[in-house]
Amino acid sequence: MASIFTRIMRGEIPCYKVAENERAFAFLDIRPLMPGHTLVVPKAEVDNLYDLEDADYQAVFELVREVAAAQKQEIPCTRVGLSVLGFEVPHAHVHVVPLRSEADLNFANPKLQLDAEEMQSIADRLHAAIGV
């Protein structure tokens, strides 16, 4: 059975798409730590990020770099943090999170509740900043 991320990439489950390349896909986390919190996932359905083929791994981190640059431009933040956890979904993914402080990257923090209009606005701004 396809992972939830594969189903999102196929369009079976809606998302707030930010960008994609040939081997990776970026979309907003629907339970964000901070506005603009984005997940970057390989199109290959692999559980562990470090088990990806080289080309897929490189494509994921190329897209991570583009998303982080867009976040830095469009979201008020001091830094952009990355996290690779993989406990909830058995499909490799990188959390790319705009940060004002180190505490903002704590997954025990309450998740934000952003409405659909705000989520779409953020996705559109990040997408435009990436220029894809």
Q: Which pTM was predicted?
A: 0.96
Mean pLDDT of each 10-residue bin along the chain, 132 residues long:
92 97 98 98 96 98 98 97 92 97 96 97 97 74
**What is the token pair recorded at 109?**
């923090």
The predicted pLDDT at position 1 comes to: 73
- Helices then strands, each counted (H, E), the chain: 3, 5
The predicted pLDDT at position 132 comes to: 64
* Residue 38 vs residues 1, 54, 75, 115: alpha-carbon distances, Å: 24, 22, 12, 16
